[in-house]
Structures are given as structure tokens and as C-alpha cells.
Structure 1
Amino acid sequence: MKILDSQGRIFGKFSILDLGAALVILLVIIGIFFFPGTSGSLAQVGVPTKPIEVDLVVRGLSIRQPQNLMKEFQTKKKTNIIIRNQPYGQVDVKAVKELPRNIIIPQPDGTAKLLPDPRPDNFSTDMLITLSGKAQITKNGPVLGNSKVKVGTPIELEGFDYNFNASVIDVRIKY
């Protein structure tokens, strides 16, 4: 009896193509269950969780009464954040400070001077906001939810009557 007949069947029963397809399916199943790889999540089990503080700067926020927003942050002391379009949840608002609006005025001698903005009815404000929460500390840095938090990361702050973006300017891990 021949191992391979004229029609390409092994021992006259199995086609070589069928055996090749079955082998590919078997290898895929073995690859999925025995070598699954990473789960795709940045937050891993067994990673230490530590408190962090994140400083955010808000530039040019269009608002009529910034004092009301700052008072809301100081009384509620919590805000919801969204990092890279991924909702994280609530974090504590540790501090809020309104930054002075300044402009650069060129001088006749060629130098420049930084002076307070003299324009009235300026509905634009700058703020420095310090948030605190618990983050997982990975080898690549702190992670809130499934998003890394680093200098330059845009974070969206959301509350009952506000929704605006800020940029991370400092991350401090508390030990």
C-alpha cells in the first residue's frame, strides 16, 4: 500500500490539504490557550499602589466668573477626570490657584517686560490645579486606571457645570 495515492490522499483516506488545515487550527488553539501573551491592560496584578499628586495647568479657560469655579473646587474637593478619552473616576482636588494673566510688552531699548494684562473684561483665566489619588506604579511610571500619567498628558476635568482640558506639568509619587 502506498503512503500517498494519485489523488493526494495519505493511506487513501486523508487529504494533505485537510491535514494541513487541521494542523493550522490546532496550532492556533495551542497559541491562544498556552501562550496568550499580554492582556493589553497597563494595570497589572501585583503592581504596587501609592498615592500621587498631579499638578495641572489650565491656560486660557473661557469663563465669566473664575472665582465661582475655584470656590466649587475648594468646597467639593473632588472632580471626575478623563485621561486619553478613558474615564478614570473621581480624584481629590488638593489645591487650586488662579495664575495672573500677564503680557509681554516690548520696550524702546529692544528688551521685553512682563506686565499684568491691562485689558478689562478678559473672560479668560489660567489656573494651577493639584489633584491627588492612588496610582499603580509600574516600571514605565504611574498609571491611573489604564492610562499612564506623565508630564504633558492631557487630562479632562468634568463636573456638574464644567468640562475642560488641562495639561500635566508635574507628577509626584508619595512614598
Structure 2
Amino acid sequence: MAEKPSNFLKRLNPIDLGAAAAVLLAAVGVIWSPKLAGSVARATGGMKSVLVTVDVKGIPSENPNALLSKIRADAKTSLVIRNQPHGSVDIKQVTAINRRVVVVLPSGVVTTAPDPNASGFSTLDARFVLRGDGQVSKAGVVLGNQALKIGSPVELDGATYRINGVVSNVQIINP
């Protein structure tokens, strides 16, 4: 014999309703994940190609030139923003930055000269230009659910290196 609907509703416990709501919220959370949001943004044109310039300074390295050559050959690096992995980005360009010192001449003229200590210390100073896909929002460019702005600390992670740097430029590439 079938129960009347009113008897069924009377048997529902508030705990059962809470459990059903928790399951429903969990299902919505799984469906509306960051990967899905990125896929939807890519499909609707919300994702744009972005060039990010990252400067690194004073990174100890036995052979900075060999490290730069290896990084160029890899052509990809993993990007970590505020300790959150973003994923892999393309390396468009890597250039060594030569340290310079400010010198005041006896005549009072201020000039710059190559750092004489650079040859004694084996450190890496470089500028990385990275290309990735990000969303453009009111808060700026968002990569990996993190707003990326000039001055943001980032980490470049490869097979043989983990380098801390600072974003020095963010540029949206128009198609």
C-alpha cells in the first residue's frame, strides 16, 4: 500500500534535510570548479593571451649562463603564484641582466659602471618573459585564480631549478 505524501513529509528529519543540502552543495562545488570556470572562459572568449615579465636577482648558481641555456632549451616552466600552482607557461625570452653600480666622480658627475664584484660571485640576474592564458577582470589579469600585478612575488619551477622572482610587467596580447 502506498503512503500518503503527508505521512512521508512528517517522517523527514531536519538532519536528513541538512545532509541532502550538504550533498547538493558538494555537487555544485564539484561541477563549478576552477577548471570548469577556465574552460567556460576560454569558450566564451574570456581568456586572453598574456605576457608576464618576471625579474630575478641574486639567485646563487654555480654557472648562471649554463642555467639560462637550459631554461631556454626547456621553453616551458611551471608558475607558482602566492604558493598556488598555476600550471605550465611558455618561456618566450630569457635575458641576463648585468649588474651595474652608481659611481660619483670627483667632478660631481653621477655615472654607472659594471659591477666589479659580479665576476667574484656566481649569481643569476635575469628577466623572463612568459606567455600564458589568463582572464581579464576588474582586479587585473587572473592566472590560476590569482590576480597577477606588478610587484607580485612568483616562483618559476623547472626540473633543475626553483627561482623566486617579482612580476615587473603584465601585458595583454590583442589577437
Note whether the superposition's TM-score is higher than 0.5: yes
Residue deviations 1:118-141 (CA, integer Å, cap 9, x gap): 223221231110000111122221
* Identity within the alignment, %: 32
Q: Could you tell me the TM-score, scaled by structure 1's length?
A: 0.72
One-letter amino acid matched to 1:49 = M
1:66 to 64, 67, 74: 64
What is the TM-score of this pair, normalised by structure 2?
0.72
Instruction: Trace 1:139-158 onto structure 2 (pairs within 5 A).
Output: 139-158=138-157
Q: Which amino acid aligns with 2:94?
A: V
Structure 1 alignment gaps of length 5 or more:
1-21, 34-38
1:83 matches 2:65: no
User: Which residue type is aligned with residue 128 of structure 2?
Assistant: I
Amino acid corresponding to residue 97 of structure 2 in structure 1: L
Aligned counterparts, 1:126-141, within 5 A: 126-141=125-140
Paired residue total: 143
Which is further off, 121-130 or 94-103? 121-130
- Structure 2: how far apart are the matches of 1:63 and 1:51? 32
Amino acid at match of 2:79: I
**Structure number, greater radius of gyration:** 1
In structure 2, the partner of 1:117 is 115
Aligned to 1:50: 48
Task: Name the Cα RMSD after superposition.
Answer: 2.6
Paired position in structure 2 for 1:14: none
SS of the equivalent of 2:55 reads: strand
Which consecutive aligned stretches of 4+ in structure 1 deviate over 6 angstroms post-superposition? none
Given residue 71 of structure 1, which amino acid in structure 2 is its aligned partner?
A: S
